[in-house]
Chains A and B, each alone.
Chain A
Amino acid sequence: MQTIIEELEGRFKATPLAISVPGKNQKAVYLKTGEKSVPEIMLLLEGKGVILADLFAAENFDGDKFSLFYIFEKRDDPVMMVLVVGIDEAKAASVAAHFPGACYYEREVADGFGIEFTRAFDKRRLFLHEVYPEGFHPLLKSFENKPLDIDYSKLVKEYPFRKCSGEGIYQIPVGPVHAGVIEPGHFRFHAIGETIFNLEIRHFYTHRGLEKLAEGKTPLECCAVAESVSGDESAANVTALTMAVEEICGIKVPLRAWCIRTILLELERVYSHLGDLAGMAIDVAFPLGAAAFFNMREETLRQNGALTGSRFSKGIIVPGGLNRDIAQSKLGGLQAYTNDFVARLEKAVADIKASGWVIDRFETTGTIDKALAAPLNLSGPVARASGVQVDTRIDHPYGIYEKLRVEEYPREGGDVLARFLVKADEIKNSIRLIQDVLDQTGGGPVFEKYEAIEGYAMSMVEAARGQNLHWLWLKNGRVERYKVRTASFCNWPVIEHAVVGNIVADFPVINKSLNLSYAGNDL
């Protein structure tokens, strides 16, 4: 990445931006460049094999009307590059031809700010559904956040889904309200007989305007917003937010606070993955096999409750550390609980592996090609089950992760079975990490005073579903812009590839094996 940065500085006169505090663990280099050199830069970057990790906009940043932030990552390189492009008019060139993942981001920016992307492949709206009026762009500073007076019962337009036609092709529209107890989203299948020929997803039904809601809040008030991005990733997202705040004000969080944060982050991964294992067994009609995972998940949620008072660890992680300490006796209770955990899990996984009909449904179902990982920026267990070794805890360590033994369990299959086994292995690793951290957790304070006034910073965490990237810009002690990009946002489009050629009846188990968050995607 360093050589790429030097090349951009030399050839395109890209100038380093004065970054408030250089990232200690997660290093981000900001480069500013003019709009004109963007196409050439993108061509160059495409050839260097970098990945577009995020793309978003901000208003009135560094003297420009709009700024587009392109964040690039190179595998096995700790340095992230943030390319800042200032534009005066609400118009920019699409980069989706070089980075296909940009398609989704550009639609998001177009909705939020009204920036038009020329030569874009897809100009349909994304998170603003038909109910919103034309010309409404909520993230513009000129729009003051308030309820809209809209008659939702009169739907005049229909969303233009991709068309598929031919002999024997029929459509199956599914959602937004599903048969199971899950979040809302729409799936438009085209099937031939039982086989899925094409799938198009349409989400953002749970779009709650969280990025706009965050604006004007203090970093502390913003914690509740981060926690509600996705309920089962609350610890991960609030940690990412606090990391960004802590970087802006340059404080060091006490070790004990990081130890407890790490325990909560890993517990979150454990209960999330346990739910996935149970769900996959349920979706192939094996409730007995799922029962063990369900019970262990309930126990894990209760451990969360005992430690923090919230079964989802909400309301304890704040900028500067934790807002209260956890008694050593409670941590001892967790330690005792983890003693036979791995053995019990292995027994439950062995029960699944011994059931031929389950393996039969899992194997070669919903295969995800490794080649999709880079263009779509796949991360988390979904990428690792397709043989891609990515884990933010290893690639961009934060907190105390550098000192911990985070293991990767890559599998090549890319199918439901591979995802099942990767998640099972990761639970075991998380439990070992928790045990290691508990052994090391000493006394001391859990909070460091901070004063966050001005500045911007990005932070990344490995949530249960993969890498979540946050970017925070503070002005006069209040949030000016808060961008959250969850792993779900990047991983959702891959389901359109994973299901093709499978039968419709296997869709639930494929969906469950990915277990992506709708709320975390829709914000």
Chain B
Amino acid sequence: MISEVFKNVFGKKKTSAVKPQDLSFQKLGLQLKEDIDGVFGRSLAVRELDSGSDNAAEIEVNNLAAPYYDAERFGITFVASPRHADVILITGAITLNMAAAVKKTFDAMPQPGLVVAVGDDACDGGILKGTYAVLGGADRMLHVDVKIPGNPPSPEEIMVGLVTLMAQIKMKTRTG
């Protein structure tokens, strides 16, 4: 028992085995952390909203939070409610069945709420453009700050989108 405790306290930690595996992502993350610090002080609260995607984009957003990327170390937090969110990542074209819920979710955000469209369908409707069941891309209902194309965009591309969002805000505050 005592030897177990000693082993746990002084032994090699399981977490020490996890090294940054992806250097280009690491670089991007540090850049984003600096930007977030500059704009938001501490962290950026992100809320994901599926308005009718095929679920691939959510998987990639999920992957950002998973240990391989672990984007939370760069100041992004995935929050459980729009009421806590600075930015909404919206995935998929807005379906008619989701339209009311999308509006309510955005309205529940503290304003000004930022919106990032993730994936081709969210950007402009993608292959769903013109069907009866969708309104179109996210900008049919919301003011979209950044569009990240891709079918779906990779976690790294989503990060690039967030860096772009920060740059945009910085530019606005400077000129405004």
Q: Is B101 an interface residue (CB 8 A)?
A: yes
User: Which residues of the other chain, A, contact B131 by a CB distance below 8 angstroms?
Assistant: 145, 147, 208-209, 212-213
Contacting residues, chain B, for A184 (C-beta < 8 A) = 50-52, 98, 101
Given contacts A147-B131, A150-B96, A206-B53, 6 further A-B contacts (CB under 8 A): A131-B100, A182-B50, A207-B52, A209-B131, A213-B131, A231-B53
Cβ-neighbour of A519 out of B14, B53, B152 (below 8 A): B53
Q: For the complex, would chain A's binding face be called helix, strand, loop or mixed by DSSP majority? A: loop
Contact between A288 and B127, CB atoms less than 8 A apart: no
15 A/B residue pairs, CB under 8 Å, sorted by A: A145-B131, A147-B132, A147-B134, A180-B80, A183-B53, A205-B52, A206-B95, A209-B132, A213-B128, A228-B127, A229-B54, A230-B54, A294-B66, A295-B66, A297-B66
The reply to whether the CB of A56 lies closer than 8 angstroms to some CB of chain B is: no
* Cβ–Cβ contact A291 & B67, under 8 A: yes
In the complex, B61 has a CB within 8 A of chain A: yes
Q: Are A132 and B96 in contact (CB under 8 A)?
A: yes
Q: Which 5 A-B pairs have the closest CB atoms?
A: A231-B56, A209-B133, A179-B80, A152-B99, A231-B54
Number of interface residues of A (CB under 8 A): 60
Q: Which of A495-523 touch B at CB < 8 Å? A: 517-520, 522
Q: Does A455 contact B (CB under 8 A)?
A: no
CA distance A518 to B91 in the complex (A): 14
A148–B132 CB distance below 8 A: yes
Is there contact, CB below 8 Å, between A311 and B55? no
Q: Confirm or deny: A298 has a beta carbon within 8 angstroms of a beta carbon on chain B.
A: yes
Chain B residue with the shortest CB-CB distance to A287: B67
Shortest beta-carbon distance from A508 to chain B in Å: 12
Q: Which residues of A contact B152 (CB under 8 A)?
A: 231, 311-312
Contact present for B58 and A183 (CB under 8 Å): yes
Residue of B nearest to A294 (CB): B66
CB–CB A295/B61 < 8 A: no
A298, B63: Cβ atoms under 8 Å? yes
Q: How many Å from the CB of A109 to the closest CB on chain B?
A: 17
Q: Does A449 contact B (CB under 8 A)?
A: no
Interface size bracket, B side: 35 or more
Inside 8 A of B59's CB, which chain A residues have their CB? 231-232, 275, 312
B49 within 8 A of A: yes
Which residues of chain B come closer than 8 Å to A287, judged between CB atoms?
67
Within the assembled complex, what's the spacing in Å between the Cα atoms of A179 and B63?
A: 16
Please encode chain A, from 124 to 144, with 1 for each CB lying within 8 Å of some chain B CB and 0 for all others.
000101011000001000010
Give every chain A residue within 8 A of B96 (Cβ-Cβ).
129, 131-132, 148, 150, 152, 207
Q: Give, as a whole number of angstroms, the nearest-CB distance from A341 to chain B.
A: 16
A interface residues with partner B (beta carbon < 8 Å): 127, 129, 131-132, 138, 143, 145-148, 150, 152-153, 155, 176-177, 179-184, 204-209, 212-213, 224-225, 227-232, 234, 275, 278, 287-288, 291, 294-295, 297-298, 301, 305, 310-312, 314-315, 517-520, 522
Known: A207-B133, A208-B131. A153 touches B58 (CB 8 A): no
Q: Is B105 an interface residue (CB 8 A)?
A: yes
Q: Does B81 contact A (CB under 8 A)?
A: yes
Chain A residues in 8 Å Cβ range of B154: 305, 311
Contacts of B134 in A (CB 8 A): 147, 208-209
Q: Mark B31-55, 1 if CB is under 8 A from A, else 0.
A: 0000000000000000011111111
Q: Give every chain A residue within 8 A of B97 (Cβ-Cβ).
A: 127, 129, 131, 204-207, 522
User: With A132-B96, A213-B128, A295-B68 as given contacts, are A205 and B54 in contact (CB-CB < 8 Å)?
Assistant: no
CA distance A176 to B98 in the complex (A): 8
B159 at the interface (CB under 8 A from A): no
Q: Closest A residue to B66 by CB, please name it.
A: A294
Residue pair A181, B78 in contact (C-beta under 8 Å): yes
Is the CB of B137 closer than 8 A to any CB of chain A?
no
Residue from A209, A213, A298 within 8 A of B68 (CB atoms): A298
Chain B nearest Cβ from A154, distance in angstroms:
9
Distance in Å from the Cβ of B42 to the closest Cβ of chain A?
Answer: 21
Point out the residue from A143, A228, A305 that lies within 8 Å of B54, measured CB to CB.
A228
From A224, which residue of chain B is reached at the shortest CB distance? B127
- Determine the residue in chain B with the shortest Cβ distance to A186: B101
Listed residue (A145, A179, A182, A205) with the most chain B CB atoms within 10 angstroms of its CB: A205
Q: Which listed residue, B18, B58, B127, B130, touches A181 by the CB 8 Å rule?
A: B58
Task: State A224–B154 Cα separation when bound (angstroms).
Answer: 18
A205 and B14 contact, CB distance less than 8 A: no
Residues on B with C-beta less than 8 A from A228 are 54, 121, 127-128
Q: Which of B81, B95, B100 has the most CB of A within 10 A?
A: B95
Determine the chain B residues whose CB is within 8 A of the CB of A294 once the complex forms. 63, 66-68
